A and B are shown apart, each in its own frame.
Chain A
């Protein structure tokens, strides 16, 4: 009889969905979540390595998913398997390479300035979680190299008292950590890191920060359509 029409003009709903939506929009307005452009100072090579890390992470997840689907016999004994195994390994190398350069760049520009402490912490924790993610990958190869690494690294784990919970010689446990627990942690942390960068804006250079009004230091103007008169020029 009647189709889908406008909602009745009653008092605003305060259901949990409305509250979540309102908090979400307050925390991340659409123009900050998906901005028209980035500040002019972002046009520097040192700002490239964060997104380079994410690009490498996407390749890691994609190639790792294929390796998980096909299994050890495929990645050890077929040409295509060797290829994807190499793609997975080299994308990890690039991930750490780009992440370390990103970390150095952000450290020397004190990227925790302007209320960006959580951005820094999520990035640093991502780096720390990525290390066991890589280690569990090395011991999940199903070859003598993996056995050698596992038996050497177990002593380090035992010496700090975590061997009972993180046993390098337990393949099933290491594989679960490698293909589920640690990748999920890394992806969630990277997502939180990127959303926090969107919320707070990319940290400005020291020189520029001193020129900016206090209100504009946390999220300076972009070179897209201007929102206010506080233009960020470097």
Chain B
């Protein structure tokens, strides 16, 4: 099977979009996935420490103390 055929088997788009319906809310599953990913990335951006942040803060404190 060609690479495009393999991808087509995994991501079969040859059908109407699946949707999430709740009262007046009507969203495609694809959009729900993207919104969920944005929420996850937002939380990770707050919670995951930035590389070198502690070192920079310590260096700044040392600089202020001296």
| Cα-based distance from A84 to B60 in the complex (angstroms) | 45
Given contacts A97-B34, A104-B42, A105-B45, contact A43 B64 (CB under 8 A): no
Chain B CB within 8 A of A212 CB: no
Nearest residue in B to A232 (C-beta to C-beta)?
A: B60
User: From A222, which residue of chain B is reached at the shortest CB distance?
Assistant: B60
The answer on a CB contact under 8 Å between B53 and A44 is: yes
Interfacial chain A residues near B37, Cβ < 8 Å? 97
Is A49 touching B45 in the complex (CB atoms < 8 A)?
A: yes
Question: Are B50 and A97 in contact, CB atoms less than 8 angstroms apart?
Answer: no
Given the known interface contacts A43-B50, A43-B52, A45-B48, the answer about A101 and B42 at a Cβ–Cβ threshold of 8 Å is yes
Tell me which of B48, B57, B60 has the highest count of chain A C-beta atoms within 10 A of its own C-beta.
Answer: B60
* Chain B residues near A101 (CB-CB < 8 A): 38, 41-42, 45
Instruction: Count contacts on B: residues with CB < 8 A to the other chain.
Output: 19
Chain A residues near B16 (CB-CB < 8 A): none
Any chain B CB within 8 A of the CB of A234? yes
Chain B residue at smallest Cβ distance from A46: B45
Q: Chain A residues with Cβ under 8 A from B57's Cβ?
A: 40, 43, 233-234
Contact digits for B16-40, partner A, Cβ 8 Å, 1 yes 0 no: 0000000000000000001001100
Q: Interface of A with B (CB < 8 Å)?
A: 40, 43-46, 48-49, 93, 97, 100-101, 104-105, 223, 226, 231-234
- Residues on B facing A (Cβ under 8 Å): 34, 37-38, 41-42, 44-46, 48, 50, 52-53, 56-57, 59-61, 63-64
